[in-house]
Amino acid sequence: MELRERVNMAVKQAMKEKDAARRSTLRLINAAIKDRDIAARAEGNENGVDDTEVLAIMGKMVKQRRESMKTYEEGGRLDLAEREAAEIVVIEEFLPRPLSETEVAAAVDAAVREIGAESIRDMGRVMGVLKAKYTGQMDFAAVGPLVKARLAS
């Protein structure tokens, strides 16, 4: 089942269960997907976004909420931090299981071998392969230094 359909079904279920917090978060996901669809159509892609882009959207939403949570905690607004944490839980239901450090290292090695990367100049190509295969499963900001170290050796 397509990711977008799963989100829509979850919205309907939350409405039936009268779970306002969950419903609100799911509607935020739908709104973000629709915004990206509109932008894609403006760029000439009439089909909208695919599951890979939907995963990237959700990953970005989780990252934003983690940053907000940290800000709220530093500001002493624990009630708002808890709400952000609850939204993260809902969004992560639709994301694939994150890869462990060992799996990330293996994926980096496989991507380097796949394209025959030999120097730091190939870093963009390696990251492209990783993003195509592992969107939503790894934090690319953390993977970048791993790729750089692997190509430097």
Please provide residue 64's backbone torsions phi and psi, each rounded to the nearest 5 degrees. Answer: -60, -40
- Are residues 13 and 62 part of one domain? yes
User: 15: domain CATH number?
Assistant: 1.10.1510.10
User: Which pLDDT value is given to residue 21?
Assistant: 92
- Are residues 87 and 22 part of one domain? yes
- Are residues 116 and 62 part of one domain? no
- Are residues 26 and 84 part of one domain? yes
- Are residues 118 and 82 part of one domain? no
Task: Please provide the average confidence, as pLDDT, over all residues in the chain.
Answer: 89
- Are residues 107 and 83 part of one domain? no
- Are residues 72 and 12 part of one domain? yes
User: For residue 123, how many C-alpha atoms fall within 13 Å in the half-sphere facing its CB?
Assistant: 14
Predicted TM-score of the model (pTM): 0.75
User: 118: domain CATH number?
Assistant: 1.10.10.410
50 is written with which tokens? Answer: 């695919």
| pLDDT tens per residue across span 80-130 | 999 999 999 999 999 888 888 888 889 888 888 888 888 888 888 888 888
CA quadruple 96, 127, 28, 64: dihedral sign: positive
- Are residues 42 and 18 part of one domain? yes
- Please answer whether residues 19 and 43 qualify as being in contact, where contact means their C-beta atoms are separated by less than 8 angstroms: no
- Are residues 74 and 11 part of one domain? yes
Please list, in sequence order, all residues whose beta carbon lies within 8 angstroms of the beta carbon of residue 38, skipping any fewer than 6 positions away: none
Domain of residue 51 covers: 3-92
- Are residues 64 and 12 part of one domain? yes
In angstroms, rounded to a whole number, what is the distance separating the alpha carbons of residues 1 and 15? 21
- Are residues 85 and 112 part of one domain? no
Q: With b meaning 16 or more CB within 10 Å and e meaning fewer, what string describes 62-84?
A: beebeebbeebeeeeeeeebebb
User: Which pLDDT value is given to residue 105?
Assistant: 87
In angstroms, rounded to a whole number, what is the distance separating the alpha carbons of residues 29 and 60? 11
Measured in residues, the chain has a length of 153
Domain count along the chain: 2
Count other Cβ atoms within 10 Å, centred on residue 36: 16
pLDDT at 76 over 90: yes
Percent of residues, the chain, with pLDDT higher than 70:
99
- Are residues 78 and 105 part of one domain? no
Q: What is the DSSP letter of 48?
A: -
Which of 40, 59, 92 is the last residue before a domain boundary? Answer: 92
Which of 72, 92, 112 is the last residue before a domain boundary? Answer: 92
